[in-house]
């Protein structure tokens, strides 16, 4: 039942925010903040009291093991259940959702001044949908949440977004985002149904249950097609390069809270989907597809990095760096070694922190300068108090400086993928150099060079300072001591690796014990 409440709390909180609007602007903000804090507290409570690293480490059991599970019948006609389950991977990602939810509420404290209640309704419903995605292991339910979370995100961008340069209005960006993800989602629905009917043909029973469908024997070509259906949906959301068109626009036009959620959590649902569904359900097909996926990952790294170098809009620049970072994630996922998979988790968490930090910073720059165009910035280092210092830290994290979690993530991914695909790793490593270039370009153009104006701009207030400091501490903490995170997800990642059937690696490095 706790799991169900995890989903329900944001939805209820959202409705409360909406209704609280009539009592002033402040109440919805506090309700939203309280909701997300409760969510975070519950998740952290589960983390400390649950046992995640011994659930099935090393055991080659037949069925999937969950730390917590909750199920009730929903649509018996098709064997659809409300089936929620938690393991280390979903726990980490839900904790991340809660944390970034708190940040999203905080960073829109002064930015959003119109229709505050309705804004928080949308914000919390996105988070509720995301938590649902991370918990659902009934494929129908998963799809349900997957599609559902688009609607509030659409409103968030369309109603509270910034209009960019001409031809790039926020509504256009929001519509593009919605259509890309929804249409690709329907392709996934077709795949889900294909899998269910294949199962039906074998056993005469309808079932959408993850564990049941995993046993379905499929012919090679069927498995390939079905896997591609899942892959398309996840690739659009991740995003993988040929289908990334929505991302820069959506990011640039979204309000800060929307960007934080998009980069921090929504992109992670795609990686989660691959780890949880695409790989375990179709291991052979995924294995056969891995070279293509890795190539796409490499293309993404270079494409994202090169385009990031050419951007004038600071948020578009960060958006393109996300594409590059997600390229690494894609390589790691399809390398499928325990080391690479653990790196993927670390990378997802680290990217969520660093991207959220950068988006919050650009939101704060926008509040002070009323522009996101880097040509109108420059020379801000001495004029902004401690903001440039924080920027430097997050930019360093983004380029993968040792000591930050991003470095460990990229390192583990590259290290873990090397035995499987050495050439991919060699090429991808070049991308790290590009990362340094675009990151330093960002610093140079915004904070150094000839100043565009005189006088000091407002320094960070306490709210902003605490937000950034917390993020920075977390980036450094997981950069210096990632073991708790790795321990939590080791079992879940081991499971993925076992199902994916890649070459087993030595696990001593991961668990810290022989």
Site for another protein in 188-207 (CB under 8 A): 189-190, 193-194, 197
> With binding defined as CB under 8 A, does residue 22 bind another protein?
no
> With binding defined as CB under 8 A, does residue 8 bind another protein?
no
In the three-class reduction of DSSP (H, G, I as helix; E, B as strand; rest coil), residue 373 is classed as strand
CB-facing half-sphere around the CA of 283: CA atoms within 13 A: 15
Q: Which of 300, 467, 332, 333 is nearest to 412 (CA)?
A: 332
Nearer of residues 185 and 385 to another protein, judged by Cβ: 185
How is 40-109 classified by DSSP, letter by letter? HHHHHHHHHHS--SSSSTT---SS---SEEEEEEEEGGGTEEEEEEE-HHHHHHHHHHHHHHHHHHHHTT
Query: Which listed range, 57-65, 155-163, 327-335, 374-382, lies at the site for another protein (CB under 8 A)?
Result: 155-163
Among 124, 127, 130, 150, binds another protein (CB under 8 A): 150
> With binding defined as CB under 8 A, does residue 133 bind another protein?
no
Nearer of residues 182 and 287 to another protein, judged by Cβ: 182
Contacts of 40 (CB under 8 A, 6+ apart): 95, 98, 99, 101, 102
> With binding defined as CB under 8 A, does residue 143 bind another protein?
yes
Query: Which listed range, 180-188, 316-324, 470-478, 485-493, lies at the site for another protein (CB under 8 A)?
Result: 180-188
At its nearest, how many Å lie between another protein and the CB of residue 114? 8
> With binding defined as CB under 8 A, does residue 159 bind another protein?
yes
Site for another protein in 478-497 (CB under 8 A): none
In the three-class reduction of DSSP (H, G, I as helix; E, B as strand; rest coil), residue 384 is classed as coil
Among 187, 401, 440, 499, binds another protein (CB under 8 A): 187
> With binding defined as CB under 8 A, does residue 246 bind another protein?
no
- How many residues of this chain bind another protein (CB under 8 A)? 32
Q: Which two tokens stand for residue 130?
A: 């995301």
Nearer of residues 99 and 155 to another protein, judged by Cβ: 155
DSSP tally for the chain: helices H, then strands E: 22, 2
> With binding defined as CB under 8 A, does residue 282 bind another protein?
no
Among 41, 54, 113, 179, binds another protein (CB under 8 A): 179
At its nearest, how many Å lie between another protein and the CB of residue 32? 19
Q: What does the per-residue mask of binding to another protein show for 26-65, with x meaning CB under 8 A? A: ----------------------------------------
At its nearest, how many Å lie between another protein and the CB of residue 158? 5
Site for another protein in 348-407 (CB under 8 A): none
Nearer of residues 148 and 436 to another protein, judged by Cβ: 148
Among 4, 74, 381, 465, binds another protein (CB under 8 A): 74
Nearer of residues 186 and 443 to another protein, judged by Cβ: 186
Burial class (CB in 10 A: 0-12, 13-18, 19+), 197: exposed
CA distance 42 to 48: 10
CA distance 468 to 483: 23
Q: Which two tokens stand for residue 164?
A: 């960019």
For residue 110, CA distances in Å to 28, 50, 252, 461 come to 13, 37, 19, 11
Query: Which listed range, 76-84, 256-264, 366-374, 415-423, lies at the site for another protein (CB under 8 A)?
Result: 76-84
Nearer of residues 186 and 509 to another protein, judged by Cβ: 186
Nearer of residues 145 and 303 to another protein, judged by Cβ: 145
Question: b/e string for 11-39 if b means 16 or more Cβ within 10 A?
Answer: bebbebbbebbeeeeebbbebbbebbebb
Q: Which of 278, 222, 228, 463 is nearest to 360 (CA)?
A: 463
> With binding defined as CB under 8 A, does residue 113 bind another protein?
no
In angstroms, how far apart are the furthest CA atoms of the chain? 75
Query: Which listed range, 148-156, 213-221, 294-302, 453-461, lies at the site for another protein (CB under 8 A)?
Result: 148-156
Among 37, 171, 224, 427, binds another protein (CB under 8 A): 171
Query: Which listed range, 29-37, 98-106, 175-183, 395-403, lies at the site for another protein (CB under 8 A)?
Result: 175-183
For residue 225, CA distances in Å to 138, 221, 230 come to 21, 6, 9
Q: Using omega within 30 degrees of 0 as the cis cutoff, is the peptide bond preceding 239 cis?
A: yes
CA distance 245 to 176: 8
Q: Can you give the binding site for another protein, defined by CB under 8 A?
A: 74-78, 115, 118, 143-145, 147-148, 150-151, 154-155, 158-159, 171, 174-175, 178-179, 182-183, 186-187, 189-190, 193-194, 197
């Amino acid at each position: 039942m706790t799991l169900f409440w995890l989903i329900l709390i944001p939805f209820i909180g959202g409705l409360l925010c909406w209704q609280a609007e009539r009592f002033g602007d402040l109440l919805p903000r506090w309700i939203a903040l309280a909701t997300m804090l409760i969510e975070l507290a519950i998740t952290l409570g589960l983390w400390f009291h649950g046992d995640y690293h011994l659930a099935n480490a090393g055991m080659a059991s037949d069925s999937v093991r969950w730390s917590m599970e909750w199920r009730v019948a929903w649509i018996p006609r098709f064997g659809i259940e409300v089936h929620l389950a938690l393991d280390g991977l979903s726990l980490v990602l839900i904790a991340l959702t809660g944390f970034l939810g708190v940040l999203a509420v905080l960073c829109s404290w002064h930015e959003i001044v119109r229709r505050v209640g309705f804004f928080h309704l949308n914000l919390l419903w996105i988070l509720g949908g995301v938590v649902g995605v991370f918990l659902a292991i009934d494929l129908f339910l998963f799809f349900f949440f997957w599609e559902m979370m688009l609607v509030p995100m659409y409103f968030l961008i369309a109603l509270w977004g910034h209009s960019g340069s001409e031809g790039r209005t926020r509504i256009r960006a929001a519509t593009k985002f919605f259509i890309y993800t929804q249409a690709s989602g329907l392709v996934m629905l077709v795949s889900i149904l294909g899998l269910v009917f294949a199962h039906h043909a074998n056993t005469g029973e309808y079932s959408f249950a993850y564990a049941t469908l995993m046993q379905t024997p499929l012919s090679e070509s069927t498995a390939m097609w079905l896997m591609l259906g899942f892959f398309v949906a996840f690739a659009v959301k991740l995003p993988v390069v040929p289908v990334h068109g929505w991302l820069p626009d959506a990011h640039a036009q979204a309000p800060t809270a929307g960007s934080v959620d998009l980069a921090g959590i929504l992109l992670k649902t795609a990686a989660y989907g691959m780890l949880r569904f695409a790989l375990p359900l179709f291991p052979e097909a995924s294995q056969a597809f891995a070279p293509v996926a890795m190539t796409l990952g490499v293309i993404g790294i270079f494409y994202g990095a090169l385009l990031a170098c050419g951007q004038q809009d600071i948020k578009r620049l960060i958006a393109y760096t996300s594409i590059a970072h997600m390229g690494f994630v894609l390589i790691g996922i399809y390398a499928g070694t325990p080391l690479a998979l653990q790196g993927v988790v670390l990378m997802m968490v680290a990217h969520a922190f660093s991207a959220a930090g950068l988006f919050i910073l650009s939101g704060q720059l926008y509040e002070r300068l009323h522009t996101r165009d880097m040509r109108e910035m420059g020379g801000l280092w001495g004029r902004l108090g401690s903001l440039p210092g924080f920027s430097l830290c997050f930019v360093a994290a983004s380029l993968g400086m040792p000591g930050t979690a991003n470095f460990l993530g990229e390192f583990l991914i590259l290290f873990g993928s090397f035995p499987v695909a050495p050439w991919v790793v060699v090429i991808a490593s070049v991308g790290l150099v590009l990362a340094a270039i675009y990151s330093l370009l960002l610093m140079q153009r915004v904070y150094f060079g000839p100043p565009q104006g005189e006088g000091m701009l407002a320094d960070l207030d306490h709210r902003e300072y605490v937000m950034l400091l917390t993020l920075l501490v977390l980036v450094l903490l997981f950069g210096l001591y990632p073991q708790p995170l790795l321990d939590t997800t080791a079992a879940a990642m081991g499971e993925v690796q076992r199902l994916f059937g890649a070459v087993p690696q030595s696990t001593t490095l991961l668990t810290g014990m022989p």
